[in-house]
Amino acid sequence: MALLAISVFLTYYFHAILMLGTVFSHFFYIPIILTALWWEKRSILVAILLGGLVVISSLFYRPELLTLNDYGRALMFVVIAFVVASLSEQLKGREQEVKRQRDLVQRYLDVAGVLFVAIGTDHTIRLVNRHGCEMLGYREEELLGKDWFDTVVPGAFREARRQTFNEAIARKNTLPEQREHPVVTRSGDELILAWQDTVLTGDDGGPIGIIGSGADITDRIRAEEEQREAHDEANLYLDIMTHDINNANAVALGYADLLEATLDGGEQEMIRKLRNGVGRSIEIIQNVTTIRRLHSHETATKPVDLDAVIRTEIAHHPGARIAYRGKPVRVMADDLLSEVFANLIGNSIKFGDPGVEITVRIEEQDGEMLVSIEDTGVGVPDTVKPILFTRFARGTSSRSGKGLGLYITRTLIERYGGRVWVDDRVPGRPECGAAFRFTLLQSGSRQKPPAPPAPPPACRMITARP
């Protein structure tokens, strides 16, 4: 309105006072352009008003000065108003579309259950979602424009994180994997976020910032730490208990040996039962220790001398009748492979007759080693075979154990990428003894999916040797 009032005054002053009509109308472009930017198409009315003002004032004050040029200027006012108003509408339409898209993205980010933040190349926060504001304890306007590192990154990590950010911007590529990043809230609490980010690029391909997302995993990390501490404490108690029980067993065996040497008859039988009971206690402790080692961590397999492991285990049973003809061969296993042979050979001796004969065979087939431990004992009934290697599964004889040894055996073999099963030593005749078989990957071969069990080798006579 002020500009229009000035325009009226200039029209009167130039026409009535100065008797001129060629210069002042150039001023009229200012209100025409401004109203076109503000009011868009309605600015044409202002252009018509000012154009008419020029023509009418010329007719009223100096009709002899009215020329075609005056009509042309009036028409130009309308054209300028129309063009500028059209451009203004397009610009505002694009701005509204950009704003709509931005609001839509903001709504998407607000409903996300993690922190989303866009950080410019100058380290300032350009965008943050509602959950991020709630997590950090700030209002959105308190974060926008602030330096991300100075505001939410703990001081001990600030410079390192800033340097990592600058390096990512320089190479236009962020680390793809998820990391754990600490942040500090407005109240001073420190949170641990599972962080992942990516570089944002502009139309020219240059980096304009980084957008990152972070999920609060503080409670999970603390729970894991508490669980780890509880696990370590439980292991400490278990180590103490295992150590003390082993010491007590050693003392009991020592006294049993002394008593056995001084007693005879039925008393010696009682001592042997005592020794068997202590032996069971030692076996339980050994099984518990092995299971702890199995579940404490995943040990990577390595080449192991299978022949040496077998011969070492056979040497632990000097009174047993065990036949073995092997050859040096390396398989993929670890230090617990000896437990497999200790369990299987030990079972054959424990549950067989006093004269039980055991044969250990190894055979190469398709990058695997097939190991068979056959005995002439009581065998395994067909009804027991499917569950024999499950946890706490027991045989049908009175001397059956707790089932942990075979469960450990299966767990170890599967850990090495093999498979284990039990056959009849003589096909179709379980009473003639059992044949425990398992496969191991040879060193340098790749793991392959389990295949059906290989058919048992032909039965042959065993030449026992002490």
Q: What is the pTM of this model?
A: 0.47
The Cα 392–Cα 128 span in angstroms is 55
Residue 179, helix vs strand vs coil: strand
Residues 6+ apart with CB under 8 A from 47: 32, 77, 78, 80, 81, 82
User: Is the pLDDT reported for residue 431 higher than 80?
Assistant: yes
Q: Give percent above pLDDT 90 in the chain.
A: 27
The pLDDT assigned to 251 comes to 84
User: Is the pLDDT reported for residue 434 higher than 90?
Assistant: yes
The Cα 273–Cα 281 span in angstroms is 13
**What pLDDT digit, counting tens, does each position of 53-79 carry?**
777 776 766 655 556 666 777 788 788
Mean pLDDT of the chain: 81
**What pLDDT digit, counting tens, does each position of 369-388 carry?**
999 999 999 899 998 988 88
Exposure string of 65-83, with b = 16+ CB inside 10 Å and e = fewer, is ebeeebeebbebbbebbee
**What pLDDT digit, counting tens, does each position of 353-366 carry?**
888 999 999 999 88
Report the candidate in 399, 310, 394, 396 with the shortest Cα–Cα distance to residue 353: 399
User: Is the pLDDT reported for residue 447 higher than 60?
Assistant: no
User: Is the pLDDT reported for residue 5 higher than 70?
Assistant: yes
**What pLDDT digit, counting tens, does each position of 310-325 carry?**
999 999 888 899 999 8
The pLDDT assigned to 143 comes to 93
The pLDDT assigned to 296 comes to 64
Is residue 302 within 8 A of residue 336, CB to CB? The reply is no
- Place 463 in a pLDDT band, splitting at 50, 70 and 90: very low
The pLDDT assigned to 421 comes to 95
Is residue 193 within 8 A of residue 182, CB to CB? The reply is yes
Amino acid at position 108, single letter? Y
Q: Give percent above pLDDT 70 in the chain.
A: 83
Residues 6+ apart with CB under 8 A from 92: 40
Amino acid at position 96, single letter? Q
Tokens 């200039």 identify what position? 10
Where are the extended beta strands (E) located within 106-154?
115-120, 125-128
Q: Give the distance from CA 253 to its chain's centroid.
A: 50
Residues 6+ apart with CB under 8 A from 191: 135, 182, 183, 184, 185, 216, 218
